[in-house]
Amino acid sequence: MNKIQVCTRCVMDTTDRDIVFNEKGICNHCLEFDANVDYRVLRGDKGKIALKAIVEKIKVKGRGKEYDCIVGVSGGVDSTFVAYKCKQLGLRPLAVHLDNGWNSELAVSNIERTLKKLNFDLLTYVLDWREFKDLQLSFLKASTPDGEVPTDHAIFALLLKIAKEKNISYIMNGMNYLTEASTVPSWSYGHGDWQYINYIQKKFGKAKLSKYPHYTTWDLFYMLFVKRLKFVSILNYIDYNKDEAMGLLEKELGWQYYGGKHHESTYTKFFQAFILPFKFSIDKRKIHLSNGIQSGHITRSFALEELKKSIYSEDQLVADKEFVAKKLAISIEKFEEIMSQPPKYYTDYPNSSKKYFLLKRVQYTLRKLGIFHR
């Protein structure tokens, strides 16, 4: 096996197949971060002023409507904080939650408790379990690292659908550029690619996806450019500190901490903390820690120490593996057999990545021109 090369500034390495380094050994993720951070993140008064202007627009546009925006909630800290912030700003959101069958009890109770305190309406959409389970299994059988795509795609599709039905023009989200700046397509691709998802299901699945919420690139284009739907990442306009946010939410809304990042869902936890590292040598902590280094929140040596820590305790792993296999209705032997298949990538299957990356570039340009929000 080739020796792994690590970026000299962050902790990203050649486990990202597409990574490139400059002559100083600095990776493309660091360079992209530096090039974009100033227009994606507005700190201090600049952020306050920009956010105030957007909030005014949202209120005007929402006049006479039941809701003026949508906020997607998962029970995690970021999305709960966005809902809290909406209340502070005097917005009238409809909170939307996708139940994919894997939520921890704590996540569900967090959502119910905090929204009750905020006095926001909640719309929970429950996925058809027979279809969804089959789709998750299809992605495991496809042997790509994209096993979280079925959930991510459905969440986004649901938000688009509700925005269209209820004629809502703004979606508030918890994307935080300082900690989630980088996307790594070789680690996870397909969130917006219905052609790819549909192909994987047809090739490996049994169920027909008749109820699963989905959207095409055209649907997205229509919502963005015809219906003028806008996404606002509130956290990019405020001096967001996750630890402080957690303390505040605990105190003000009775929210409870649930463990590591994205561990509000058992499947997400198992997928990120076991399947990705074990089968694909992908450790997603590397990209999050790297964003922390790039934004100056942590040092590189701290990140390297963090990466030495084990992700899973042996007991918890055995228990979660049994739980996941049972819920997907396969035996442990079948699960191990799937895990032993050689890794593949989205590039091994038909997909719309060319169209998708083109749309991303258009979005990037529009953001730079100030036409798209941060």
Measure the CA–CA gap between 273 and 237, rounded to whole angstroms. Answer: 31
Provide DSSP, 71-131: EE--SSHHHHHHHHHHHHTT--EEEEEEE-S-B-HHHHHHHHHHHHHHT-EEEEEE--HHH
Please identify, using beta-carbon distances, which residue of 101 and 185 lies nearer to Zn ion. 185
| Complex with Zn ion: residue 14 or 363, whichever CB lies closer | 14
- Residue 180: which of 52, 297, 345, 308 has the closest Cα? 297
CA distance 235 to 47: 10
* Contact (CB, 8 A) for 195 and 333: no
Output the smallest distance, CB 36 to Zn ion, in A: 14
Give the angle 252-254-257 at the CA atoms, nearest 5°.
115
In the complex, the smallest distance separating the C-beta of residue 307 from Zn ion, rounded to whole angstroms, is: 14
DSSP state of 11: S
Minimum CB separation of residue 1 from Zn ion in Å reads 22
Nearer to Zn ion, 27 or 229 (CB): 27
Comparing CB distances to Zn ion, the nearer of 7 and 289 is 7
Q: Is 214 exposed, middle or buried (0-12, 13-18, 19+ CB in 10 A)?
A: middle
Q: How far is the CB of 29 from Zn ion (least distance, A)?
A: 5
6/275 with CB nearer Zn ion: 6
Burial of residue 201, with CB atoms counted within 10 A of its CB: 0-12 exposed, 13-18 middle, 19 or more buried: buried
CB of 252 to Zn ion, least distance (A): 37
Q: Which is nearer to Zn ion, 7 or 149 (CB)?
A: 7
Closest approach, Cβ 300 to Zn ion, in A, equals: 9
Residues that bind Zn ion (CB under 5 A): 7, 9-10, 12, 27, 30
